Structure 1
Amino acid sequence: MTRIVIIVASVLPTTVLAQSSQPPALQGDPSRGEVLYQGCMDCHSIDKDDVGPRHRGVVGRRAGSIAGYDYSKALKNSGLTWDEATLDRWLIDPSALVPGTKMFYEVEKPQDRADLIAYLKQQK
Protein backbone atom coordinates (compact mmCIF):
# COMPACT_ATOMS: atom_id res chain seq x y z
CA MET A 1 0.00 0.00 0.00
CA THR A 2 2.77 2.45 0.85
CA ARG A 3 4.42 1.66 -2.45
CA ILE A 4 1.29 2.64 -4.41
CA VAL A 5 1.03 5.93 -2.53
CA ILE A 6 4.66 6.70 -3.33
CA ILE A 7 4.16 5.91 -7.03
CA VAL A 8 1.00 8.02 -7.25
CA ALA A 9 2.69 10.86 -5.37
CA SER A 10 5.65 10.75 -7.74
CA VAL A 11 3.43 10.81 -10.87
CA LEU A 12 1.07 13.55 -9.74
CA PRO A 13 3.64 16.38 -9.62
CA THR A 14 4.79 15.49 -13.15
CA THR A 15 1.22 15.71 -14.44
CA VAL A 16 0.61 19.02 -12.71
CA LEU A 17 3.94 20.36 -13.97
CA ALA A 18 3.15 19.30 -17.55
CA GLN A 19 -0.21 21.08 -17.43
CA SER A 20 1.25 24.26 -16.02
CA SER A 21 4.05 24.45 -18.61
CA GLN A 22 1.70 26.07 -21.12
CA PRO A 23 1.25 29.78 -20.50
CA PRO A 24 -2.33 30.90 -19.95
CA ALA A 25 -3.92 32.91 -22.75
CA LEU A 26 -3.42 36.60 -22.13
CA GLN A 27 -6.44 38.85 -21.80
CA GLY A 28 -6.08 41.78 -24.18
CA ASP A 29 -6.96 45.36 -23.25
CA PRO A 30 -8.43 47.08 -26.33
CA SER A 31 -7.95 50.56 -24.84
CA ARG A 32 -4.23 49.92 -24.41
CA GLY A 33 -4.21 48.30 -27.85
CA GLU A 34 -5.58 51.50 -29.37
CA VAL A 35 -2.67 53.42 -27.87
CA LEU A 36 -0.18 50.83 -29.12
CA TYR A 37 -1.79 50.93 -32.57
CA GLN A 38 -0.47 54.47 -33.00
CA GLY A 39 2.92 52.84 -33.70
CA CYS A 40 1.34 50.81 -36.52
CA MET A 41 0.02 53.94 -38.22
CA ASP A 42 3.32 54.64 -39.98
CA CYS A 43 2.15 51.98 -42.46
CA HIS A 44 -1.46 51.09 -41.60
CA SER A 45 -4.81 52.73 -41.04
CA ILE A 46 -8.07 51.32 -39.78
CA ASP A 47 -10.03 52.54 -42.83
CA LYS A 48 -7.58 53.30 -45.66
CA ASP A 49 -4.95 51.31 -47.50
CA ASP A 50 -1.53 52.87 -47.15
CA VAL A 51 1.91 51.25 -47.18
CA GLY A 52 0.03 48.35 -45.55
CA PRO A 53 -3.60 47.36 -46.00
CA ARG A 54 -6.43 48.76 -43.87
CA HIS A 55 -7.22 46.92 -40.66
CA ARG A 56 -10.97 47.40 -40.25
CA GLY A 57 -12.42 43.90 -40.32
CA VAL A 58 -9.03 42.19 -40.31
CA VAL A 59 -10.06 39.61 -37.67
CA GLY A 60 -11.83 36.88 -39.60
CA ARG A 61 -10.60 38.06 -43.00
CA ARG A 62 -8.58 35.90 -45.35
CA ALA A 63 -5.00 37.18 -45.63
CA GLY A 64 -4.22 39.01 -48.85
CA SER A 65 -7.87 39.49 -49.81
CA ILE A 66 -8.54 43.24 -49.96
CA ALA A 67 -9.26 44.01 -53.61
CA GLY A 68 -6.89 46.56 -55.08
CA TYR A 69 -4.19 46.31 -52.42
CA ASP A 70 -0.77 45.17 -53.70
CA TYR A 71 -0.01 42.26 -51.37
CA SER A 72 3.10 40.14 -51.66
CA LYS A 73 2.58 36.96 -53.64
CA ALA A 74 3.56 35.03 -50.49
CA LEU A 75 0.76 36.54 -48.40
CA LYS A 76 -1.84 36.21 -51.17
CA ASN A 77 -1.02 32.51 -51.44
CA SER A 78 -0.61 31.85 -47.70
CA GLY A 79 -4.10 30.46 -47.14
CA LEU A 80 -4.21 32.19 -43.74
CA THR A 81 -7.27 33.63 -42.09
CA TRP A 82 -6.61 36.31 -39.49
CA ASP A 83 -7.78 35.06 -36.11
CA GLU A 84 -6.28 35.69 -32.69
CA ALA A 85 -3.75 32.86 -32.89
CA THR A 86 -2.65 33.68 -36.44
CA LEU A 87 -2.33 37.40 -35.69
CA ASP A 88 -0.27 36.59 -32.61
CA ARG A 89 2.12 34.40 -34.62
CA TRP A 90 2.24 37.06 -37.35
CA LEU A 91 3.12 39.84 -34.92
CA ILE A 92 5.89 37.74 -33.37
CA ASP A 93 7.68 37.38 -36.71
CA PRO A 94 5.82 37.93 -39.99
CA SER A 95 8.65 36.56 -42.13
CA ALA A 96 8.76 33.32 -40.15
CA LEU A 97 5.03 32.79 -40.63
CA VAL A 98 4.97 33.85 -44.29
CA PRO A 99 8.42 33.87 -45.89
CA GLY A 100 8.50 36.50 -48.62
CA THR A 101 6.00 38.87 -47.01
CA LYS A 102 6.55 42.63 -47.18
CA MET A 103 5.69 43.07 -43.49
CA PHE A 104 8.75 43.38 -41.28
CA TYR A 105 7.49 44.92 -38.02
CA GLU A 106 7.54 42.66 -34.94
CA VAL A 107 5.85 43.04 -31.55
CA GLU A 108 8.05 41.39 -28.96
CA LYS A 109 5.92 41.50 -25.81
CA PRO A 110 3.04 39.00 -25.54
CA GLN A 111 0.84 41.46 -23.64
CA ASP A 112 1.34 44.13 -26.31
CA ARG A 113 0.28 41.62 -28.98
CA ALA A 114 -2.78 40.61 -26.95
CA ASP A 115 -3.76 44.27 -26.50
CA LEU A 116 -3.32 45.07 -30.20
CA ILE A 117 -5.37 42.05 -31.21
CA ALA A 118 -8.12 42.97 -28.71
CA TYR A 119 -8.26 46.43 -30.30
CA LEU A 120 -8.34 45.04 -33.84
CA LYS A 121 -11.16 42.66 -32.89
CA GLN A 122 -13.29 45.71 -32.10
CA GLN A 123 -12.66 47.26 -35.54
CA LYS A 124 -15.46 45.47 -37.41
Structure 2
Amino acid sequence: MKRLFFAVLMLATPAFSQSAMTAAEFEAYVSGKTLFFATQGTRYGVEQYLPDRRVRWSFLDGQCKEGIWYEEAGQICFIYEDTPAPQCWSFYKGRNGLSARFEDETNGTELYEIEATGEDMLCLGPEVGV
Protein backbone atom coordinates (compact mmCIF):
# COMPACT_ATOMS: atom_id res chain seq x y z
CA MET A 1 0.00 0.00 0.00
CA LYS A 2 2.85 2.36 0.85
CA ARG A 3 4.40 1.76 -2.60
CA LEU A 4 1.13 2.57 -4.33
CA PHE A 5 0.88 5.86 -2.43
CA PHE A 6 4.38 6.91 -3.48
CA ALA A 7 3.75 5.86 -7.10
CA VAL A 8 0.61 8.04 -7.22
CA LEU A 9 2.49 10.89 -5.55
CA MET A 10 5.27 10.68 -8.15
CA LEU A 11 2.73 10.84 -11.00
CA ALA A 12 1.28 14.04 -9.57
CA THR A 13 4.69 15.63 -8.90
CA PRO A 14 5.88 18.05 -11.58
CA ALA A 15 9.09 17.03 -13.33
CA PHE A 16 11.05 20.27 -12.92
CA SER A 17 14.43 18.62 -13.49
CA GLN A 18 13.91 18.70 -17.26
CA SER A 19 14.15 21.78 -19.49
CA ALA A 20 11.25 24.19 -19.61
CA MET A 21 9.16 24.19 -22.78
CA THR A 22 9.90 26.79 -25.43
CA ALA A 23 7.11 29.05 -26.66
CA ALA A 24 6.85 26.94 -29.84
CA GLU A 25 6.56 23.70 -27.83
CA PHE A 26 4.01 25.25 -25.47
CA GLU A 27 1.94 26.62 -28.35
CA ALA A 28 1.97 23.28 -30.18
CA TYR A 29 0.76 21.50 -27.03
CA VAL A 30 -1.98 23.91 -25.87
CA SER A 31 -3.43 25.32 -29.10
CA GLY A 32 -7.17 24.69 -29.30
CA LYS A 33 -7.28 22.91 -25.94
CA THR A 34 -8.97 23.54 -22.63
CA LEU A 35 -6.77 22.33 -19.77
CA PHE A 36 -7.70 21.79 -16.13
CA PHE A 37 -5.01 22.31 -13.47
CA ALA A 38 -4.53 21.25 -9.85
CA THR A 39 -2.06 22.02 -7.08
CA GLN A 40 -1.25 19.85 -4.07
CA GLY A 41 -4.09 17.48 -4.94
CA THR A 42 -6.75 20.23 -5.20
CA ARG A 43 -8.41 21.46 -8.37
CA TYR A 44 -7.08 24.95 -9.10
CA GLY A 45 -8.40 26.30 -12.39
CA VAL A 46 -9.04 25.86 -16.09
CA GLU A 47 -7.63 27.65 -19.12
CA GLN A 48 -8.82 27.68 -22.70
CA TYR A 49 -6.15 28.32 -25.34
CA LEU A 50 -7.59 30.30 -28.23
CA PRO A 51 -6.12 31.40 -31.58
CA ASP A 52 -3.44 34.12 -31.70
CA ARG A 53 -2.14 33.26 -28.23
CA ARG A 54 -5.33 34.43 -26.54
CA VAL A 55 -6.53 32.66 -23.38
CA ARG A 56 -9.54 32.46 -21.12
CA TRP A 57 -8.90 31.56 -17.44
CA SER A 58 -11.22 30.61 -14.57
CA PHE A 59 -10.62 29.52 -10.97
CA LEU A 60 -13.56 27.12 -11.55
CA ASP A 61 -15.98 29.66 -10.11
CA GLY A 62 -17.75 30.58 -13.36
CA GLN A 63 -15.91 33.91 -13.56
CA CYS A 64 -13.62 34.01 -16.60
CA LYS A 65 -10.79 36.38 -17.46
CA GLU A 66 -9.63 37.06 -21.00
CA GLY A 67 -5.93 37.39 -21.63
CA ILE A 68 -2.93 36.74 -23.83
CA TRP A 69 0.28 34.80 -23.45
CA TYR A 70 3.78 35.42 -24.79
CA GLU A 71 7.34 34.20 -24.24
CA GLU A 72 9.84 36.29 -22.32
CA ALA A 73 13.29 35.18 -21.18
CA GLY A 74 12.40 31.52 -21.62
CA GLN A 75 9.18 31.75 -19.62
CA ILE A 76 5.53 31.78 -20.68
CA CYS A 77 3.93 35.00 -19.44
CA PHE A 78 0.23 35.81 -19.20
CA ILE A 79 -1.53 39.17 -19.01
CA TYR A 80 -5.22 39.17 -18.08
CA GLU A 81 -7.81 41.92 -18.51
CA ASP A 82 -7.98 42.65 -14.76
CA THR A 83 -4.25 42.20 -14.02
CA PRO A 84 -1.94 44.26 -16.25
CA ALA A 85 1.26 42.92 -14.66
CA PRO A 86 2.58 39.80 -16.42
CA GLN A 87 2.42 36.47 -14.59
CA CYS A 88 5.30 34.29 -15.78
CA TRP A 89 5.51 30.51 -15.58
CA SER A 90 7.89 27.76 -16.62
CA PHE A 91 6.04 24.84 -18.25
CA TYR A 92 7.26 21.26 -18.48
CA LYS A 93 5.81 18.38 -20.47
CA GLY A 94 5.72 15.00 -18.79
CA ARG A 95 4.05 11.71 -19.59
CA ASN A 96 0.91 12.80 -17.72
CA GLY A 97 0.63 16.25 -19.30
CA LEU A 98 1.86 19.69 -18.34
CA SER A 99 3.28 20.90 -15.09
CA ALA A 100 4.10 24.53 -14.36
CA ARG A 101 5.93 26.64 -11.81
CA PHE A 102 5.01 30.27 -11.12
CA GLU A 103 8.28 32.17 -11.48
CA ASP A 104 7.21 35.54 -10.07
CA GLU A 105 7.56 34.53 -6.42
CA THR A 106 9.95 32.58 -4.23
CA ASN A 107 8.63 29.04 -3.76
CA GLY A 108 6.13 29.76 -6.53
CA THR A 109 2.88 27.91 -7.02
CA GLU A 110 3.25 24.59 -8.81
CA LEU A 111 0.42 23.34 -11.01
CA TYR A 112 -0.11 20.16 -12.98
CA GLU A 113 -2.57 19.25 -15.68
CA ILE A 114 -5.43 16.98 -14.65
CA GLU A 115 -8.04 15.17 -16.66
CA ALA A 116 -11.12 17.23 -17.46
CA THR A 117 -13.46 14.25 -16.86
CA GLY A 118 -15.82 15.47 -19.56
CA GLU A 119 -16.29 18.81 -17.86
CA ASP A 120 -16.61 21.96 -19.95
CA MET A 121 -15.23 25.34 -19.00
CA LEU A 122 -18.05 27.35 -17.42
CA CYS A 123 -18.10 31.12 -17.94
CA LEU A 124 -21.08 32.96 -16.55
CA GLY A 125 -22.07 36.29 -18.06
CA PRO A 126 -21.07 39.62 -16.49
CA GLU A 127 -22.79 40.54 -13.26
CA VAL A 128 -25.75 42.76 -13.98
CA GLY A 129 -26.95 45.35 -11.49
CA VAL A 130 -30.56 46.18 -10.74
User: What interval of TM-score do these two structures reach, taking the shorter chain for normalisation?
Assistant: under 0.3
Relative contact order, higher structure (CA 8 A, sep 6+): 1
TM-score, normalised relative to structure 2: 0.26
